[in-house]
Every structure is written in C-alpha cells, then in structure tokens.
Structure 1
Amino acid sequence: MLDKHEGRFRNRAYLALPVLELLMDERHCGPSADRMSTMLMSDVVRFEIKAAGGSREGPSRGRPDPATLDTRLRHALRFVTQGPGRPDAGDLPSRAAHTPLSRLEALVNHLPRPPATDAWRWFDVTVQPVYVLHDEYFFIRVLQTREMLFTATVADMKAAIGALRAGRLDDAAERIEHAVSMFERAAALFRVAATMRAEQFSAFRQYTQGADAIQSAQYERFASLCGVPPVRRPRSAAFTSAPALRAEAEDPGHDTVTQAYLDLRGEGGFDRTQWNLLDAALSRLEARHQRWKSAHRGLAARVLGDA
C-alpha cells in the first residue's frame, strides 16, 4: 500500500486515500465525505481508549500522559458529536481524566463505526504508521479526516460553479454555506492535532513527503476552484507531487467560482437580495478560510519550531 520516493512515503499513499475513496464510492452507497470524517475521528477515540486500557501497544511507544489524553479525547469527542451520524451527547463524558476506565471503554459502543460488510473490513488497514511512536496513529487519522472535509469542499465548489453557470444563485449560496461549515469542522481538527508531542512528530515526519507532512492535494484543488492560482503556485510541492492536480489547474477550460461569478454579474439580472445572499456566503467562506490558514501556520510553527 505504501510507496517511497527519495526515501519518503507519498502523502496520498501514506494516508491510504485510494482505499478511503473506494469505500466512499457512491456506486456502492458509500458514506459522504463528512460522515467518513466522523468515523475516522471516532476511530481515534477508540484507539486512545484501548491504549489507555492496556492494549498490546507497549509503553515504549510513548503513550500520552493523562492530561494530554484528556485534552485529545475531549476535542476528538467534540468533533464526533458535531458530525453526521453522531452519538447522543449524553452518552459521552465531558472530560476523560476523571472518568473511570470502564466508562470510557463502554463509550466505544456509542461511537459511529463502519458498516459490518466485507468491503468495510478494509477500513482497519487504512492507517499504516511508518514508525513506532504512539502519536502517529492519531495523526494519520487527523490528516485523513482533514482530507475528507476538503473533499466535501471541493464538491461544494464544483456544485457552486455549476449553479452559477445555470443562473441558480440560491443553490450556489447554499453550497458555499456548506463549504463554510466544512472549514469550521476543519478548524476544529487543529485542537486535536495540537495535542501531538513535537518530539514524536519530529521522529516520524522524516519518512513522509513534505517538511510538515501535512500537504493536501484536496486543499489545493479547493483553492484552484475558487480562483486561478498565481503562476508560481502550480510549481509548489503540493502541485508537483500531484500531476493530475497541476494538469487541472493549468487546463485552459478550468472553471472557477470567481470567473463564474463575474460572468453572471456581467450578464445582469437577479435582484439585490439574491446577490447580497451570495455575497454574504462568499464573504463568510473567505473569512473562515483565512482563519483556517492562520491556525494552520500557528500549529505548524509550534510543532516544527526551527526545523
């Protein structure tokens, strides 16, 4: 499943994205990208609870201390309870540190889990750590969750472009608003990721592609659907490591929300209320996007330091 280039694993293979995409295939009634993100984060909670309860994972792998575990579980559970297919919040403890282990283990039964089918047996092998430290498992799941959320925003942008080209402003605004909610969930992931120990990240990131190990082709795809990227951007590492993405961005027929919006504005028509609704949605999306980027830079600086 994993491949190496210049001694490092490519992110798409490292995150087992081809397998996750097959599991989400609509032809087989697969879950939405957002629902998949909830299942992935639920798996983080299961993994951490089992490790705390004395799983076969040895202590030499560096399990988190109780305070770190409490914070990690609290934010992971919050993410799960705010997603589709979420459990009843009353079934979940507000804090892990003062909750008996038996209560935490019972919690596992209330978490969303993959369907009990032959195909979904592959879900368990979609996390393949390349090193021996505890935090890599949850970190892979966090990155996969982020990719699922950006997969949803890509679908939103494509649908918004189609709606604008068809002159359906209300539909375009609805898809933009959904993308806003996906960025809100993506921002919540930073609280979970912030519990990763920097020394553990430094140990395993040397085997992954990219200095911060968090390059996202789906994020770049989202950005290119919003507007044509600067000339220098398709030469960035995220683009050069994904030829298909670069080809999409440089295709003469590549459409964007910006161009579709400007073309429709130029045609006239529609009342001010409809335009205001769409403009407000676009403003909220850009505001959430900028907040996400700022939080991303802050987390990267804290974890990477001067590396």
Structure 2
Amino acid sequence: MNPEPLHRWLAHRRPTTHRFPYDSVVDAYLYYGKHFIPETWTTPLRSARERLPEVSGPRAYLADFLAVALDKVDGKYDYRTYLALPLLPIPDAESNAGPADQLLARRDHLHTLLLTDLISFELRALDSTGAPLPQMRPDAMVVRKRVRHAVRAAAPALRRLSFDIPAAGDPMALARRLTALTAIDRTAGDRLMLRTTMLPVERVHDEYLFIRVLQAFESTLALLAVDLTAAITAVDEERLPAAGTRLSFAASLLRETAPLWSLLATMQPEAFHAFRVYTDGASAIQSRAYKLVESLCRTPDPQRLHSAAYLSVPDVYARVSNGQRSLDEALDAIRADHRALAQTPILADGMRQFAAAVRQWRRTHYRLAVRMLGTERPGTGATPGTPYLLHGRDQKVFRNSDAHDPEER
C-alpha cells in the first residue's frame, strides 16, 4: 500500500477537504488493520492534522476522521473511536429535538445503511478472494445464515422508509437484490460515512460484522435516549398519555433489534478471540448511549454510579452527579405514591413494555457474551466482562416498577 495519494494532498499549497484521499487511507487501514498500520501512513496523517487550520472547506468531518484514525497513535483509543461514533449521524438528546417521526427516519436510514453495507461486504467476500479482511472467513453456510439475519434486522426500518423489499425465496438472492436496490439511493455523504466508519484493528473477516452490529445498536440506543428525554418532558408537562405512547414506541424499537443479536451470534468465536486481543482500551462498558438510557429511566444507585460503569463515561457521570432528571424523578414530582401510573394506563403500560424490552435485551446480551467469553473471562478491553453483565442483567429498569410490573418483583 502506497501513501502517495496522501503525500500529493499534503504537497498542495492549500489542500481542500473534498480532495482528501479518504479511499486510499481507508484501504490502507483495511489492508493492515489499525493496530498494525505503519508509520509510513500515520506520520503523513499527523501532518494532515497539523495542516487542518489552513485547509479550505468544512474541516469538522476530516478532523473527526483523523482523530479516529490516529486514536491508537495518540493514546486515545476507546469504544467511541473504535466504532468511529463521531462520524456517524447518530441522534442526540441534546441537539436533536424535533418531531419523533423525523428522528426515527434518520435512525432508520442509518440503520439500513449499516446493515446493507454489511450484507454487501459478506457477499463480496463470498464472491472474491480479493475482498478486504481475508483472515478466517466463514463458510458459505454461515454467510447464508448471516445475511438472512441481517435482512430481518433491516426489514422494519426499510418498510417505514417505504422501501419495497423484493420477494425472493432464496435468502441469498434476496440479499443481492436488496443491496443492489438500496445502493442506488445512497448519497455521496452516505458512501463517505460508510467508508470512513470501518477501520478494524485486524484483518479478521468477522470484525466487520462486529463493528457494524455495534454501530447499529448504538444508533438505536441513542434514539431511545431521545425518546426517554421526550417522555420526561411530557410527564413534567402533565401529558402522561403522551409519555406512555413514547415509551411504548421506544419499547417496540428496542424489540426490533432482536435479530441483531442473532446476527452477532453468527460470529465465529475463534475469529472474535483473534481480533479482540488488539481492542484493549475499547469496551461496550464505555457506551455513552446505554448509560444515558439507563440513567434517564432512574438515577443509578451510588455504588453503580461510582463504579467503572459510569466512570467510563465521564460526561454521563457528570450529568447524573449534577442532577440529571430521570423519568422516576419526574413521576415523583407528580405523585409521590406513583398512583399516577394506575390512573394513566397508557403510561403504566408504556413503562411495563419498555422495562420488559430492556430486560430481554440485557439477558440476550449476557447469553451471547457467555457463549463468546465463558463465565469468567474479562470482556473486550480487559473489562469485567460477563460477571459485570450478570450483575446488571436483572437490575430494575425503573425504581418503583415493582408497583406495576409483576415480572420485576
């Protein structure tokens, strides 16, 4: 791999962001793996970052890309940079206030982009030995199962986007037709985002699957945080049925992610162990979106708040410490004995549905982690792993949920 395109860009008197050789850089990362990318690439990439103030054109995206690409060199590698989350158009509770249907459409668009890109990658690897990440490729039967689950995971979002899913009896034929059709609607921005958000640490085939599925989960969790924030506002404004409706919707969206777990379960354990040794420092315990969802349901107990779970996400830790309002607290302000729930069946039902969906999500996560790691091994990045997940698996979602949900008693 020759970094000449990058050197040519640097040689311009006034380089522009739109001419930055993203494709060449990403190809190099796919060829070597981020953990093994040589200095012949990282040195000019650092030079590119130093020249950013003089580069013409919008610089924010390029700056974020360089930060993601150089995270290991900079000693700033973590879960966010591993998944390239700063480069994904993920909904955010602070800056994405707006109609729920518009936010859902944005999430659905991203969700389908990630999954159809994964399907395309699997099909390309099946068809060509020259596809990237050549190590430990699965056999055709595994790929067939994988793309079937990926199509199932994408289907609800595709339907909401008014996308006609082609009819086909053979899952592989359906996957090929679906990826060909969805590729037509991709914008230049979509294509750039998909390219720049895949910088695996190794050359192991299954890491592509791992990254795309985790990115899809993060997108959904982020939208759940938006929904919970909206539900809290509705409770504060005494629009309790509206809060219940928003929670029911959030529960439905979380249940839709079930095929993602089935998809992730097709990952070969030996492949996972081959690349995870290079992910030290990046762990899902650092998921900001998940901790935001959890803390918006109820304020974490002091022991959990001051544990690695929240210390790993400093901004959420600060929000909670500074008095972030949870749904539990919003309900306390209305009626301390929570009879508001009994008097507003829609809200009570929404809370029940959401709590049940979160519990199922946690339990499935734990089962898959046990399959990949066993019951004692540390998690990705030398974190507590399955014992940590077991501890959190059955924690109450809402503090007083036992008052209205028999499963939580």
Distance (whole Å) between structure 2 residues aligned to residue 174 and residue 85 of structure 1: 21
Amino acid in structure 1 at the alignment position of 2:369: A
Amino acid in structure 2 at the alignment position of 1:111: T
Decide whether the 8 Å contact of 2:91 with 2:226 is kept in 1.
Answer: no
Amino acid in structure 1 at the alignment position of 2:202: Y
Deviation per residue, 1:96-148 (Å, 9 max, x gap)? 3xx5xxx7544421236764235752332111111010000111000000000
> 1:271: Cα distance to partner?
9.9
Q: TM-score, normalised by structure 2?
A: 0.66
Q: Give yes or no for the alignment of 1:126 onto 2:200.
A: no
Decide whether the 8 Å contact of 1:149 with 1:182 is kept in 2.
Answer: yes
> 1:191: Cα distance to partner?
0.5
Decide whether the 8 Å contact of 1:143 with 1:214 is kept in 2.
Answer: no
SS of structure 1 residue aligned to 2:267: coil
Decide whether the 8 Å contact of 1:91 with 1:110 is kept in 2.
Answer: no
Q: 1:122 to 1:89 in 2, by over 3 A?
A: closer
Q: Give yes or no for the alignment of 1:265 onto 2:335.
A: yes
Q: Give yes or no for the alignment of 1:229 onto 2:300.
A: yes
> 1:256: Cα distance to partner?
0.5
Distance (whole Å) between structure 2 residues aligned to residue 130 and residue 288 of structure 1: 32
Distance (whole Å) between structure 1 residues aligned to residue 228 and residue 253 of structure 2: 12
Q: Residue in 1 aligned with 2:361? A: 292
Q: Give yes or no for the alignment of 1:160 onto 2:234.
A: no
Decide whether the 8 Å contact of 2:165 with 2:178 is kept in 1.
Answer: no
Distance (whole Å) between structure 2 residues aligned to residue 298 and residue 268 of structure 1: 34
Q: TM-score, normalised by structure 1?
A: 0.86
Which stretch of structure 1 is more off in the superposition, 52-61 or 73-82? 52-61
Q: Residue in 2 aligned with 1:75? A: 149
- Identity among equivalent pairs (%): 31
Distance (whole Å) between structure 1 residues aligned to residue 194 and residue 121 of structure 2: 14
Decide whether the 8 Å contact of 1:8 with 1:208 is kept in 2.
Answer: no
Q: Residue in 1 aligned with 2:161? A: 85
Decide whether the 8 Å contact of 1:205 with 1:212 is kept in 2.
Answer: no
Deviation per residue, 1:188-220 (Å, 9 max, x gap)? 210000000111111211222568656522111
Q: 1:270 to 1:262 in 2, by over 3 A?
A: closer
Distance (whole Å) between structure 1 residues aligned to residue 110 and residue 199 of structure 2: 18
> 1:56: Cα distance to partner?
2.1
Give aligned pairs, total: 299
> 1:170: Cα distance to partner?
1.7
Amino acid in structure 2 at the alignment position of 1:157: L
Decide whether the 8 Å contact of 2:206 with 2:268 is kept in 1.
Answer: yes
Distance (whole Å) between structure 2 residues aligned to residue 146 and residue 268 of structure 1: 32
Q: 1:32 to 1:119 in 2, by over 3 A?
A: closer
Amino acid in structure 2 at the alignment position of 1:177: S
Q: Give yes or no for the alignment of 1:204 onto 2:275.
A: yes
Q: 1:85 to 1:55 in 2, by over 3 A?
A: farther
Of 161, 181, 185, 1:110 maps to 181
Rg larger in structure? 2
Decide whether the 8 Å contact of 2:133 with 2:203 is kept in 1.
Answer: no
Decide whether the 8 Å contact of 1:34 with 1:152 is kept in 2.
Answer: no
Q: Give yes or no for the alignment of 1:190 onto 2:261.
A: yes
Distance (whole Å) between structure 1 residues aligned to residue 274 and residue 130 of structure 2: 22
Amino acid in structure 2 at the alignment position of 1:61: Q
> 1:88: Cα distance to partner?
2.4
> 1:279: Cα distance to partner?
0.4
Q: 1:168 to 1:87 in 2, by over 3 A?
A: same
Q: Residue in 1 aligned with 2:372? A: 303
Gaps of 5+ in 1: none
Gaps of 5+ in 2: 1-67, 378-409
SS of structure 2 residue aligned to 1:21: coil
Q: 1:168 to 1:51 in 2, by over 3 A?
A: same
SS of structure 1 residue aligned to 2:253: helix
Q: 1:167 to 1:116 in 2, by over 3 A?
A: same
Deviation per residue, 1:220-243 (Å, 9 max, x gap)? 110000001111223333422321
Which structure has more RCO (C-alpha within 8 Å, separation ≥ 6)? Answer: 1
SS of structure 2 residue aligned to 1:196: coil
